[in-house]
Amino acid sequence: MKTNYLIGASIISFFIGTTLFLYFQGWIILQYPYSKKQNRNLLSVVSIDKKRIKFFYWNNNAWCTEESNLIWSPQNEENILYVINNLLTLMHEEEILQKKISIESVMLSPTGQEAFISFERNPFRKEASTFEKWKIIESILKTIGENKIPIQSIRFLVRHKPLEDYHLDFSKSWSCN
């Protein structure tokens, strides 16, 4: 009977020792789900703001505007991505764009003054006139500029390569002002 207690105590000691060893080596992480410190850290990290954005687009030979509330982030890249994707969706709903176009990614130059915007595909129809193409680009530039997003110029890309077009020159940046 003493041997049964001795074997049981040995097994329990082995498991407790192994668990403590793994815990101190960092292989096991114990975290209390409702600790006050964790909740305070989560609240300080998540900062969500809303901002009223005005979208500008050319339709029926006139500038049209529409307003919407968007989630506003501390990162300008995310804000530019949200704003332009929402503008492109609006232009698709208004049948200015025939196909649904979206932005793959947005990067800022080291100075933060120039944005590199990469479309998932070419935003222009093959048979679109120079004027139509220019007004699509001007809608993006006007929306960014009028909402006071702090960038000076935009370089347009398709799948992270320069946008190629026979009518408009995308080898240089386009000014937002």
Residues 50-59: pLDDT tens digits?
899 999 999 9
Total count of domains within the chain: 2
User: In terms of domains, do 108 and 128 share one?
Assistant: yes
Q: What is the pLDDT of residues 80-137, one digit of tens each?
A: 999 999 999 999 999 999 899 999 999 999 999 999 999 999 999 888 899 999 999 9
Degrees, nearest 5: CA angle 119-122-125: 145
What is the bridge-based pairing of β-strands 174-175 and 153-158? antiparallel
Instruction: Write down the pTM of the prediction.
Output: 0.72
Side chain identity, residue 175: S
Residues 6+ apart with CB under 8 A from 150: 76, 112
User: In terms of domains, do 106 and 157 share one?
Assistant: yes
Domain that includes residue 94, residue range = 49-175
User: In terms of domains, do 82 and 149 share one?
Assistant: yes
Which residue(s) pair with 114 in the sheet?
153
